[in-house]
Chain A
Amino acid sequence: MSLLELRNVSKIYGELKALDRVSLHVDQGEWVAIMGPSGSGKSTMMNIIGCMDKPTSGEVLLDGVDISKESSKRLTDIRRDKIGLIFQQFHMVSYLTAVENVMVSQYYHSMPDEAEALEALGRVGLRERARHLPSQLSGGEQQRVCVARALINHPELILADEPTGNLDEANENIVLDLFAQLHREGTTLIVVTHDPEVADAAQRTIVLEHGKVAREVINENFGK
């Protein structure tokens, strides 16, 4: 069953076609990597799927709803309810502790629950670092807090933009293991990357070039 479907999606900035009639679909529970060189349209696609931007034309169906036609307020609601976002930079609120950064997502979603937030931090191996400020955490730890924050509201879709781009190998493996665990639990994952190793961890890789889908690769070794 398809969770996400893009139908002839284009995004045009002046003369530049960032996305050019892209069509693709992602099934519920699927783990998809999106690869491509710089300027291929990865970030644009991520912004559109993540309800942060709207396409110039085409349809984006998320859980059956065409989000390309939705208002900004509705897009915020959809993002809050259905999507967990992870970025390459560890975007944390500097004056909040690790657990409070996780609770921020609950705060805007439903109601902050510290016990649940601590549990999410435990899941990413940071239970003991819960009371630390971002400045007291390493890059890898900050990214794991972001993962905990992204999954705290049990989103249907985790959207990660270069999640391991700033991590060392050990932390990269920790994050990929977390993704694998989320995938086993049925969460849909879309990971934008240009690291082939990260792409290899996914079930399927979609390669973008010049704003178009150049090819799709099924990972035969997935799960082995």
Chain B
Amino acid sequence: MNKLPLPLVNLLRKPGRTLALALLIAFLALAVFGGSVVVLSLRGGLQSLEARLGADIILVPSEAQSKVSFQNMFLQGTTGAFYMDASVLDKALEVEGVEKAAPQTFLASLKADCCSIKIQVIGIDPALDFTVQPWISRSLSREMGDMDVAVGCKVEADVGETIRVYDQRCKVTARLEPTGTGLDTAVYCNMDTMNTLLRAAEEKGVSHRIESGDSVISAVYVKVRDGADIDAVNSCLNGHIRKVTAVRTRSMITGVSDSLAGISRTVTILIAAVWVLAIVILLLTFVLIIRERSREFAVLRLAGASRGMLSRMVLRESALCGLLGGVAGTGLAALLLFPFAQLIESALNLPYLMPETGTVLLLAVGTVLLSVGVAALSSVTAAYRLSRVDPGTALREGN
């Protein structure tokens, strides 16, 4: 051994002290990385929800408000259905300020012999749709054919498999990217497929109120023209189309957005509290450690170490502790967050979309660097104090 890496040797030969410091820093890293991932996932979920809803106004039958909580259908993916005449689409397009309108038709499958799984089936018109279709297009380059379905990422069916809905066999042609919302639990098809499924459901005696065969839809998604007053358009739609309620999507998201802001605030406060606490503890710990080691540093000074050398040694030791704690804390947070993402999502009951791998890696590297920096900075004062100690005095006082 022709090298003597003193900072490393010190850390290895004082495992108790090293472990305690590393644990403290790991706690800090866990809070920062874990908290940041949760906050980013919630933000991602909300952004994804906004993008997927993609409309300014949604038109639903007036009865939908009493029949099912349609907001839960849109936001959390609970199953349900309601219908209105397809002419609502044309009526909506007549209203001043409406730029685009696209219909969707819902059908809930059953947990029964006729259906493979209990799911929400959503029929879209690919030619008109501006909310779900762009998302489907990312996973399916061609148009969905008859009896083709695209499944949300949480539906237990793979591409190429067939699922049965009211004894109709539908082929899974695409598996969609996660959105972190209830849309991940739904199955999407074109309107022809939906009509076939609706008829099949009717034949099975499932009590859907379908009066005119092909001409029913569940909702119309409305995009308001740039510059138009959304509230005014909303009022016009409510006044112009009978037995239909126009709901602003923003008001649907407000609840989610408020909950998210509340959780984000709480997590941020917790992270800040952990930081303040950890930094204070680290500062005190380093001061105590340096005091305890004054004799050792005096010996090293007498052995030829300059003040700068000792300060650098202390900084390296603390940075190594920071690295160890940072990696451990970030790793532990990752172990808790990623395998249990679904559990966290259910517990929060909010749209929750994990950031992309690149962002997570960047966040992890940032957390580790932050841990190293905080540990090193916490020891700066102690290192400076130590460097001012007169070695002769320290040795006499330490006798």
B4 within 8 A of A: yes
- Residue on A with the closest CB to B12? A95
Q: Mark interface residues in B299-322 (1 if CB within 8 Å of A CB, else 0).
A: 111111111110000000000000
Q: Is the CB of B307 within 8 A of A112?
A: no
Verify B4–A91 contact, CB threshold 8 A. no
Indicate if the CB atoms of A92 and B299 lie closer than 8 Å.
yes
User: Can you name the residue of chain B whose Cβ is closest to the Cβ of A75?
Assistant: B306
Closest B residue by C-beta to A85: B302
Chain B, Cβ-Cβ closest to A76: B306
Write out the residue numbers on chain A whose beta carbons fall within 8 Å of the beta carbon of B306. 73, 76-77, 108
- Our pick among A47, A79, A114 for the contact of B2 (Cβ within 8 Å) is A114
- What residue in chain A is nearest B387 (Cβ atoms)? A72
Pick from B2, B3, B4, B307: contact of A104, CB below 8 A.
Answer: B4
Residues of B within 8 A of A87 (CB): 395
Report the Cα distance A212→B301, complex, angstroms. 29
For B277, list chain A residues within 8 Å (CB).
Answer: none
Secondary structure of the B contact surface, majority rule: helix
Q: A94 — nearest CB in chain B belongs to which residue?
A: B296
Kindly identify, within residues 276 to 332 of chain B, every residue whose CB is under 8 Å from any CB belonging to chain A: 295-296, 298-309
Chain B CB count within 10 A is highest, among A72, A89, A106, A107, for A107
Asked whether any CB of chain B lies closer than 8 Å to the CB of A96, the reply is yes
Interchain pairs with CB closer than 8 A, number: 75
Q: How far is the CA of A73 from the CA of B304 in the complex (A)?
A: 10
Residues of B within 8 A of A (CB): 1-4, 6, 9-10, 13-14, 295-296, 298-309, 390-392, 395-396, 399
Question: Is A111 in contact with chain B by the CB < 8 A criterion?
Answer: yes
The count of residues in chain A whose C-beta lies closer than 8 Å to any C-beta of chain B is 34
A 197-221 binary contact with B (CB < 8 Å = 1; else 0): 0000000000000000000000000
**Contact residues, A60-114 vs B (CB, 8 A):** 72-73, 76-77, 79-80, 85, 87, 89, 91-96, 100, 103-109, 111-114
Contact A47 B9 (CB under 8 A): no
Contact status of A96 and B9, CB under 8 A, knowing A108-B300, A114-B2: yes
A100, B4: Cβ atoms under 8 Å? yes
**CB-contact partner of B301 in A53, A76, A77, A106, under 8 A:** A76
Closest 6 CB pairs of A and B: A80-B304, A108-B304, A95-B13, A52-B392, A112-B4, A91-B299
**Residue among A76, A87, A112 facing the most chain B CB atoms (10 A cut-off):** A76
* Chain B residue contacts of A95, Cβ below 8 A: 9-10, 13-14
Q: Is A42 an interface residue (CB 8 A)?
A: no
- In the complex, are the beta carbons of A91 and B392 less than 8 A apart? no
Contacts of A100 in B (CB 8 A): 4, 9
Residues of B near A109 (CB, < 8 A) are: 304
A149 located at the interface, meaning its Cβ lies under 8 Å from any Cβ of chain B in the complex: yes
A85 to chain B, nearest CB (A): 5
Given A91-B299, A93-B299, A93-B300: A73 touches B1 (CB 8 Å cut-off):
no
Asked if A163 CB lies within 8 Å of chain B CBs, one says no
Query: What is the CB-to-nearest-CB distance from A46 to chain B, in angstroms, rounded to a whole number?
Result: 8
Instruction: Write out the residue numbers on chain B whose beta carbons fall within 8 Å of the beta carbon of A73.
Output: 306-308
Would you call A50 an interface residue if the criterion is a C-beta within 8 Å of the partner chain's C-beta atoms? Answer: yes
Set of chain B residues within 8 Å of A50, measured between Cβ atoms: 302, 392
A219 to B: closest C-beta gap in Å: 28
The reply to whether B3 and A79 contact each other, CB–CB distance below 8 Å, is no
Q: Are B392 and A47 in contact (CB under 8 A)?
A: yes
